[in-house]
């Protein structure tokens, strides 16, 4: 199956995009993936799609780690080895092999080299190359990335961002997805969303800037009491020293944020990233030119928004006038 040069050379790593497939093609496709190379038939595209699908379900920010884990397990089982047996061959415990296969631990360069040298030398360095293609990206989920971020900038035209949702507001949103996802562990999902907010209580929390559309204040998520409490919570949160929450007035009808929500994260020791929200999954990019463009987009939205004090007053006014029974 041929792949264009442009696709092979795409630098992007993005959930739901050609970036993930392109990287897998670069690693596996050019290495004659399949019967000739590895001694057992395994079409290239299916393991890629399986890892990609798993990444969607697990909300992974770096699906190549999932591909690494799936490939490791498949090869281990093909050789008839237990996790303990493989661990013994490469100088690691069976528990460590298990953690990598389940995605609990990202594989280290040393672990990858051991797999290539003592576990599967016939693959010619496949695992090291997979890890190199994953780069220095060290965050498995958005929550992990938020914990390491020093600056977070968020735009949302539809909802209060997760870092500032009350439990009842979050519950109403999560329960609304039952019609799509079926029964969920609602309590666990709400708890996980609230746990994300613990970064705001650190001795040195990240600097957080939020811009939301004014229509968010009037969308009755969960009913009047839920909205009343949510808006007062926003007002209180906006008084934190490293938090700024601003409202883009509804009168700004045409603006650069109409295409959807996004989160820009900056780190003291890693490349920045942008996380895009969509109905069924997240997507990320670390491409500098896209980061720069979206940073400008956020700046434009912020400049068109009400100031922090005026926004705080609006939260309290709408809570009283619109959502007080």
Mean pLDDT, the chain cut into blocks of 10 residues (325 residues total) = 32 39 49 42 44 46 73 92 95 91 80 94 89 64 87 97 97 86 79 94 96 98 97 98 97 94 90 81 80 96 98 98 91
DSSP structural state of residue 207: E
CA atoms within 13 A on the CB side of 252: 19
User: What phi-psi label fits residue 263: left (phi over 0), alpha (psi between -120 and 50 degrees) or beta?
Assistant: beta
User: Which positions ≥6 away from 121 have C-beta within 8 Å?
Assistant: none
Q: What is the model's pLDDT at position 178?
A: 76
Joined together, the tokens standing for residue 87 give 């661990």
Q: What is the model's pLDDT at position 105?
A: 75
CA distance 146 to 153: 11
Q: What is the model's pLDDT at position 5?
A: 33
Can you say whether the dihedral through the CA atoms of 126, 10, 287, 145 is positive or negative? Answer: negative
Q: What is the model's pLDDT at position 134?
A: 63
Collapsing DSSP to helix, strand or coil, 133 comes out as helix
Q: Judging by DSSP bridges, how do beta strands 262-266 and 151-156 pair with one another?
A: antiparallel
Q: Nearest 10 degrees: CA dihedral of 140, 146, 148, 152?
A: 140
Which domains, from first to last, does the chain contain?
5-134 (no CATH), 142-321 (3.30.870)
Q: What is the model's pLDDT at position 60?
A: 53
Q: What is the model's pLDDT at position 70?
A: 85
Secondary-structure breakdown of the chain: helix, strand, coil percentages, each rounded to the nearest 5:
55, 10, 35
């Amino acid at each position: 199956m041929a792949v264009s040069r442009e696709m092979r050379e795409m630098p992007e790593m993005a959930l739901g995009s050609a970036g993930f497939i392109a990287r897998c093609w670069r690693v596996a496709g050019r290495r004659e993936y399949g019967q000739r190379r590895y001694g057992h038939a395994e079409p290239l595209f299916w393991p890629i799609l399986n890892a990609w699908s798993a990444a969607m379900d697990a909300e992974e920010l770096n699906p190549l780690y999932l591909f690494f884990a799936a490939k490791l397990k498949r090869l281990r089982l093909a050789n008839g080895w237990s996790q303990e047996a493989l661990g013994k061959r490469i100088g690691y415990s069976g528990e460590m092999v298990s953690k990598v296969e389940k995605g609990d631990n990202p594989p280290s360069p040393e672990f990858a080299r051991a797999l290539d040298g003592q576990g599967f030398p016939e693959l010619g360095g496949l695992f090291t190359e997979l890890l190199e293609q994953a780069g220095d990206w060290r965050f498995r989920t958005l929550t992990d990335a938020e914990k390491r971020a020093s600056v977070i900038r968020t735009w949302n035209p539809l909802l209060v961002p997760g870092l500032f949702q009350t439990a009842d507001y979050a519950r109403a949103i999560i329960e609304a997805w039952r019609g799509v996802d079926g029964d969920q562990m609602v309590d666990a999902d709400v708890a996980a969303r609230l746990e994300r907010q613990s970064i705001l209580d650190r001795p040195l929390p990240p600097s957080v800037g939020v811009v939301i559309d004014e229509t968010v204040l009037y969308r009755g998520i969960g009913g009047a009491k839920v909205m009343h409490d949510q808006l007062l919570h926003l007002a209180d949160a906006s008084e934190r020293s490293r938090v700024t929450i601003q409202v883009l007035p509804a009168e700004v009808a045409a603006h650069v944020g109409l295409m959807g929500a996004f989160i820009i994260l900056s780190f003291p020791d890693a490349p920045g990233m942008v996380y895009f929200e969509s109905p069924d999954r997240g997507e990320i990019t670390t491409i500098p030119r896209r980061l720069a463009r979206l940073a400008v987009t956020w700046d434009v939205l912020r400049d068109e928004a009400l100031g922090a004090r005026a926004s705080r007053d609006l939260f309290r006014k709408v809570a009283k006038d619109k959502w007080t029974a």
